């Protein structure tokens, strides 16, 4: 019979938020044995975005321990030894299958129990699988997904096994775009399929998307839009051989990678905490409706002060900052000291091939494209402003320098009055850089 363990603080989830929470706890001061991080994964917290980028590079791919947190934000790398040095218990390969917030008890799949005084929920998201919708043949071999390092290892092995073969990427979001690029860099014959009229429709305008689609096409990636995968063929071994599309066409495939979105992992807490917009509802300190229970990262729906709204954000920058905010709030409460409300400016980035973009703010209102968005330029550099109610509320920039990215971040935060669309277009990036 497994025995129980008690901790003052438990962080449930050893992903990005879990790692940044651990660092903040160490900074604020924890006694040895007070804090545990419990994670389903077998490795210490790491920078998840690396999995769809450098982890799959054909040359010198990134591997752990190289990208443990907190290298992504330019901080000290927290190796497994760091946790033991700080007296923080890292409980890995342990899936929690039951959470009872009333008795403050978590139960693992092996039957171990963990009790706490303060709980920080940092369970992140799980990928949406085509088998969830009963798509025919979706459980064939080499139909792969990407969320954790184990998934990335499977994808890497498939890339090695199918050298020079055909890959189909299902989904046109940032995961689909990053994976298509890295599969192409591995010399696979890559086709991307997605139902929308252009890629990344949640952020990109048609004009922004046109640049990336042409750039990808020039690199040899084929793009099939406006249709979806409705089934898969497999050979006698169960290995996928083809993707059947709704429009009746068939794409040969040795590897299929599906990136059609995620779902926040809130299931353990259903009926026990208030929820909103698909996530666990928190205040500006990430405390949930249950006192002493906090939720951060992908699972939290929090007040977005800058827009007087409540939102859930699935981006790495927020997972880091929300974890830090929650820990500051926990320790501040204990010390009786005030902590400022979370005041987050949305920030999202992606990198693929030689491209790199950043986005800050809100992509609402009218979008005004500026700069050189010619995909055949030697060094394309362009962006878009979003203008709402006469104010510049969001900025996207491809190919910006650190200073220029700093300038667009400031602009999105300050929301200055915008010039006319023609003037903004003519001023281009200078509209942002002139304001710093
Ligand atoms: P996660 O980092 O997912 O961590 C959750 C952890 O909880 C995992 O270790 C999980 O195993 C564990 N867990 C879950 N349930 C349980 C349980 N019941 N018991 C025990 N452990 C559990 N964002 C960007 O802004 N830019 C990018 O370029 C970018 N690239 C990405 C690339 C990939 C491949 C992926 C998957 C995501 C990417 N993201 C990117 C999104 C970003 O990584 C996430 O928003 C961030 O990781 C969320 O942090 P989190 O701590 O909430 O969740």
Half-sphere exposure of 352 (CA within 13 A, CB side): 22
Ligand 1, atom nearest to 124 Cα: 53
CA of 6 to the centre of ligand 1 (A): 26
CB 146 less than 6 A from any atom of ligand 1: yes
Residue 67, classed as helix, strand or coil, is: coil
Point out the ligand 1 atom lying closest to the alpha carbon of residue 349: 26
Tens of pLDDT, residues 104-160: 999 999 999 999 999 999 999 999 999 999 999 999 999 999 999 999 999 999 999
Q: Which tens digits make up the pLDDT trace of 335-361?
A: 999 999 999 999 999 999 999 999 999
* Segment 15-22 mean pLDDT: 98
Best residue among 146, 316, 348, 351 to mutate for probing ligand 1's pocket (most ligand atoms within 8 Å of CB) is 316
CA–CA separation, 354 and 179 (whole Å): 14
Q: Does ligand 1 come within 6 angstroms of the Cβ of 322?
A: no
Q: Can you give the pLDDT at residue 2?
A: 52
Q: Sorting pLDDT into bands at 50, 70 and 90, what band is 419? A: confident
Q: Which atom of ligand 1 is found nearest the CA of 18?
A: 51
- Long-range contacts, stretch 127-133, CB < 8 angstroms, 24+ apart: 127/258, 127/259, 127/260, 127/261, 127/262, 127/263, 128/260, 128/261, 128/262, 128/263, 129/258, 130/170, 130/229, 130/258, 130/260
CA of 97 to the centre of ligand 1 (A): 18
What is the model's pTM? Answer: 0.97
68 pocket-lining for ligand 1 (C-beta < 6 Å): no
- What domains are defined for the chain? 5-124+265-335 (3.50.50.60), 130-262 (3.50.50.60), 354-433 (3.30.390.30)
Ligand 1 atom 42 nearest Cα: 316
Give residues with Cβ within 8 angstroms of 18, minimum separation 6.
Answer: 11, 37, 39, 45, 122, 323
Q: Once rounded to an integer, what is the mean pLDDT over residues 14-18?
A: 98
Interface pTM, i.e. ipTM: 0.99
Peptide bond into 65 cis (omega under 30): yes
List the residue whose alpha carbon is closest to atom 15 of ligand 1.
123
């Amino acid at each position: 019979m497994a025995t129980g363990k008690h901790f003052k603080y438990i962080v449930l989830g050893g992903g990005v938020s879990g790692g940044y929470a651990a660092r903040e706890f160490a900074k604020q001061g924890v006694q040895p044995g007070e804090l545990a991080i419990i994670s389903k994964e077998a490795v210490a917290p790491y920078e998840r975005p690396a999995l769809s980028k450098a982890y799959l590079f054909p040359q010198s791919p990134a591997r752990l321990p190289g990208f443990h947190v907190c290298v992504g934000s330019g901080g000290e790398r927290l190796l497994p030894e760091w946790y033991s040095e700080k007296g923080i218990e890292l409980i890995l390969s342990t899936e929690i299958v039951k959470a009872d917030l009333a008795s403050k008890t978590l139960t693992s799949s092996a039957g171990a129990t963990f009790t706490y005084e303060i709980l920080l929920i940092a369970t992140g998201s799980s990928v949406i699988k085509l088998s969830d919708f009963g798509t025919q043949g979706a459980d064939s071999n080499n139909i792969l997904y990407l969320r954790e390092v184990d998934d990335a290892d499977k994808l890497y092995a498939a890339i090695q096994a199918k050298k020079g073969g055909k890959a189909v990427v299902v989904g046109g979001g940032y995961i689909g775009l990053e994976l298509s690029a890295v599969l192409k860099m591995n010399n696979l014959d890559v086709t991307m399929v997605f139902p929308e009229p252009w890629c990344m429709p949640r952020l990109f305008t048609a004009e922004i998307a046109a640049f990336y689609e042409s750039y990808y096409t020039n690199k040899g990636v084929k793009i099939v839009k406006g249709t979806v995968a409705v089934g898969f063929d497999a050979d006698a071994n169960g290995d996928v051989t083809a993707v059947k599309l709704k429009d009746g066409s068939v794409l040969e495939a040795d590897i299929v990678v599906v990136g059609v979105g995620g779902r926040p992992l809130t299931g353990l807490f259903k009926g026990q905490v208030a929820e909103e917009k698909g996530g666990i509802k928190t205040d500006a300190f990430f405390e949930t409706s249950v006192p002493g229970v906090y939720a951060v990262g992908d699972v939290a729906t929090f007040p977005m002060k800058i827009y007087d709204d409540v939102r859930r954000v699935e981006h790495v920058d927020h997972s880091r900052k929300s974890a830090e905010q929650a820990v500051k709030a926990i320790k501040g409460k204990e010390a009786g000291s005030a902590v400022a409300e979370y005041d987050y400016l949305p920030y999202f980035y992606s990198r693929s091939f030689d491209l790199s973009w950043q986005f800050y703010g809100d992509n609402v209102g009218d979008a005004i494209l500026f700069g050189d968005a010619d995909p055949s330029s030697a060094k394309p550099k362009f962006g878009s402003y979003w203008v709402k109610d006469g104010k510049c509320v969001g900025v996207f920039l491809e190919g910006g320098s650190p200073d220029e990215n700093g300038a667009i971040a400031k602009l999105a935060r300050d929301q200055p009055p915008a010039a006319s669309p023609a003037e903004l277009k003519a001023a281009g990036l200078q509209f942002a850089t002139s304001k710093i």
